[in-house]
């Protein structure tokens, strides 16, 4: 499940506790946790609701000013059911904490080296991508693919692995190195 940045931060602040989605069938279930830009969010409940029964108050609870604003976000076909999804904020994203730590031990550096070796084993992309992001913060996946043998969507998925290990951050547009990513490149003289 994807939440916009504004809604994710509102969930983290406790101002939004519900979302509505028009899906052919439920795509989440109670207990599911997922990452957002504001941290980890949990699905508490999910139940079908009658769209005609929704009100402006329901929209405000979901973070929208009016019912029209909320229903404008609905995808799928009009005859597909609408689900009310109860949400709660769980915790900050541990990747953010990891990314913020520039003090690397020798074991950290060895671990990152091994990770990058594994990622580059079949198709070299990881070290090149880190170097390009360092040179041009905000670079997009499309621009990063120049000269690589992986496509844009594949590269986006691969960059998530770098983010999982605290080396990069996603921006609204493009990517940047984290403090940990900069520290790794400094420590390995890959500047």
pLDDT digit string, tens, across residues 130-163: 999 999 999 999 999 998 999 999 999 999 999 9
The pTM is what?
0.65
Alpha helices in 62-121 (DSSP H): 67-71, 94-99, 106-120
Distance CA 66, CA 177 (A): 39
pLDDT band for 93, please (50, 70, 90 cuts): confident
pLDDT band for 37, please (50, 70, 90 cuts): confident
- List the chain domain ranges: 5-92, 95-189
Token pair recorded at residue 43: 């699905």
pLDDT band for 191, please (50, 70, 90 cuts): very low
* Contact assessment for residue 167 and residue 175, using Cβ atoms and an 8 Å cutoff: no
Give 60 or 35, the one with higher predicted confidence. 60
Average of per-residue pLDDT values in the chain: 94
* DSSP state letter for 177: E
Query: Quick one: CA torsion of 42, 21, 173, 65, rounded to 10 degrees?
Result: -100
| pLDDT(126) > 50 | yes
Average pLDDT (113-118) is: 97
- Find the length of the chain: 191
Average pLDDT (20-43) is: 94
| Residue 32 pLDDT | 95
Percentage of residues of the chain with pLDDT beyond 90: 85
Distance CA 87, CA 32 (A): 10
Query: Would you state the CATH architecture of domain 95-189?
Result: Orthogonal Bundle (1.10)
Distance CA 135, CA 41 (A): 33
Query: Would you state the CATH architecture of domain 5-92?
Result: Roll (2.30)
| pLDDT(36) > 60 | yes
């Amino acid at each position: 499940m994807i939440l916009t940045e504004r809604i994710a931060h509102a969930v983290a602040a406790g101002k939004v506790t519900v979302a509505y989605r028009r899906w052919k069938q439920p795509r989440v279930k109670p207990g599911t946790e997922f990452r957002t830009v504001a941290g980890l969010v949990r699905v508490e409940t999910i139940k079908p609701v009658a769209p005609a029964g929704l009100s402006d108050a329901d929209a405000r609870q979901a973070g929208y000013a009016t019912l029209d604003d909320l229903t404008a976000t609905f995808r799928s076909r009009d005859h597909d059911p609408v689900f009310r999804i109860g949400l709660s904020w769980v915790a900050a994203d541990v990747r953010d904490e990891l990314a913020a730590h520039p003090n690397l031990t020798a074991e950290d550096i060895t671990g990152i080296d091994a990770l990058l070796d594994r990622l580059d084993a079949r198709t070299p992309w990881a070290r090149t991508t880190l170097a390009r992001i360092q040179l041009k913060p905000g670079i997009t996946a499309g621009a990063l693919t120049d000269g690589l043998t992986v496509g844009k969507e594949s590269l986006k998925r691969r960059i998530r692995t770098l983010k999982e290990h605290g080396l990069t951050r996603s921006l609204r547009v493009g990517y940047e190195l984290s403090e940990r990513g900069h520290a790794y490149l400094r420590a390995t003289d890959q500047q």
